[in-house]
Amino acid sequence: MLSGRIPPVLRPEHPSARPLGGLVDAFALEVVRGRVDGLEVTGITLATGDLRPGDLYVGVQGQNRHGAEFAAEAAEAGAVALLTDRAGAVIAEDAPLPILVVDDPRAALGELSAWVYRTTEEPPLLLGVTGTNGKTSTAYLLDGILRQLGLVTGLSSTAERKIGDLTVVSRLTTPESSEMHALLARMREAGVRAVAVEVSAQALSRHRVDGIVFDVVGFTNLSHDHLDDYADMEEYFQAKLPLFQPDRGRRGVVSLDSAYGERVVESARIPVTTITAREGVDAEWRVELTEEHPAHTGFRLSGPGGQSLETRVPLIGWHMAANAGLAIVMLVEVGFSLDVIAQALGDHGIDAYLPGRTERVSGDRGPSVYVDFGHSADAFEQTLAAVRRFTTGRTIMVFGADGDRDATKRHEMARVAAEGCDVLVITDHHPRFEDPAAIRATLLEGAALATNHPAIHEVSPPEAAIRVAVGLAQEGDSILWAGPGHQDYRDIRGVRTEYSARDEARAALREAGWPTR
């Protein structure tokens, strides 16, 4: 179990106290019980498990319980006051804390957190990336290029939170707004000058980036995903658009590689520039492949006024070159010249490590084995095509599907997987509270819809599945294990069990007598 290994919330090590009365006055909060005179606040949190002495505890209505129910526990942990809604004030009336009331505490949380942590005072360069696929890759590429430019950087992604050389595993793609502002405050202490943030649709819908105005925001693409959270693709698309409004971003860079890009441009109320890696698409910036190699992809980026740069990204596939181009243009929009970026990248190209993004774990002999975080049909299609390009033998794919997540995409994921491989191994991923056998059955139905008919194996659990795949593979074959990527656990009936696909793949290769990296 990983209950003791849940990643920590990164907070400032030396928080500055602010008067609670000042917070009340700044946001016209109603004090329904107790006095705030003389009290100071040094932090803010939604979770009693993360609460520290001096915090303002925020109690919101959750899916099953109201956070105000834990007000007494928060007081014992050192909270100075409770902020909640009127229903929460009634629930917590016996708790020994001053109670502050606002109509929607979650909607207010971002601005309140920015005030508590002073994150609007001399902020670093802030770069936000949204889209279905490529958010994480683009954020890491931004971080890598910024480091090559000589800046101390910060990163918030699906995979990790990074402050300079400090790295912790992420809990959510985008943290709660109280955690986000605490992270920014910690970054300020460390002298961070630029921050790349992966911004999910859920982060925008659930107020997780409130109180932040990005200097530049980027859009990668949109494809079928997250329809467990949104009613349909239109609602999912609309959830992305607030990032391109003046209260969220100052400038934007939009990829036109998916049909939704043009609609983002039309809806944006900030200045935007466009980029594409597709033939026949009219954009201000263009990415053209110049070299495809098993270890990297070379490309040329050209833009307005005859600007041009040639470099390479340490990943395979045109879509990774497109992500890199987007990252570079975002940096141009924030004020770096293309010539300065080219000089920083030098002859070796972008220096970035992307955990679990088409990550090769195999050695120089035997089958090539890639572990990837992709978990949508579009991601499968792009990554399989990239792997096949460098495969002289057969392409073998291993994948499962998340339980208790968007079930409407499972048939299409499996169909696309079957279309793009020679051998398909269907296994488990995070079943959560679903029956993993039922999930696999749905995936088998989807695979049967393909016009291509690979050899199909159903193998559970995934530890056995990767060993079956490696056992089937020969020199010149490639194995793509999609889904787990960088994650270090499996979620089975609410229990996070320690697990690493990268480690399992390496172990399977060694057991078969093949080298690893």
Which tens digits make up the pLDDT trace of 258-287?
Answer: 999 999 999 999 999 999 999 999 999 999
With bands split at pLDDT 50, 70 and 90, how would you rate the model's confidence at 1? Answer: very low
Cα–Cα nearest to 52, from 92, 88, 12: 12
Answer whether residue 516 is part of any domain: no
Share of the chain above pLDDT 90, in %: 86
Does 283 lie in the same domain as 332? yes
Please name the residues in contact with 415: beta carbons below 8 A apart, sequence gap of 6 or more. 377, 446, 447, 449, 450
pTM > 0.85: yes or no: yes
Distance, in Å, from the CA atom of 166 to the CA atom of 222, rounded to the nearest integer, reads 32
Answer whether residue 11 is part of any domain: no
Query: Lowest mean pLDDT: which of 72-81, 120-129, 342-351, 489-498?
Result: 489-498
User: What is the rounded average pLDDT for all residues in the chain?
Assistant: 94
Distance, in Å, from the CA atom of 125 to the CA atom of 122, rounded to the nearest integer, reads 10
Q: How many domains does the chain have?
A: 3
pLDDT at 171 (0 to 100): 62
Residue 233 belongs to domain spanning: 125-345
Answer whether residue 9 is part of any domain: no
pLDDT tens across 317-334, in order?
999 999 999 999 999 999
Does 288 lie in the same domain as 148? yes
Does 466 lie in the same domain as 413? yes
Query: Average pLDDT, stretch 176-188?
Result: 96
CATH number at residue 264: 3.40.1190.10
pLDDT at 252 (0 to 100): 98
Q: Is the pLDDT of residue 356 over 90?
A: no
* Higher per-residue confidence, 159 vs 363: 363
Strand duo 272-276 + 249-255: pairing:
parallel
Answer whether residue 376 is part of any domain: yes
pLDDT at 295 (0 to 100): 87
Does 410 lie in the same domain as 318? no
With bands split at pLDDT 50, 70 and 90, how would you rate the model's confidence at 21? Answer: very high
Q: Is the pLDDT of residue 373 over 90?
A: no
Query: Average pLDDT, stretch 230-247?
Result: 94
Does 289 lie in the same domain as 146? yes
CATH number at residue 67: 3.40.1390.10
pLDDT at 224 (0 to 100): 78
Answer whether residue 481 is part of any domain: yes
Q: Which residue, 294, 323, 345, sits at the end of a domain? A: 345
Query: Average pLDDT, stretch 4-22?
Result: 85
Element of type H or E holding 398: strand 395-399
Answer whether residue 3 is part of any domain: no
Does 341 lie in the same domain as 211? yes
Query: Please, what sign has the CA dihedral across residues 35, 36, 38, 41?
Result: positive
Does 273 lie in the same domain as 141? yes
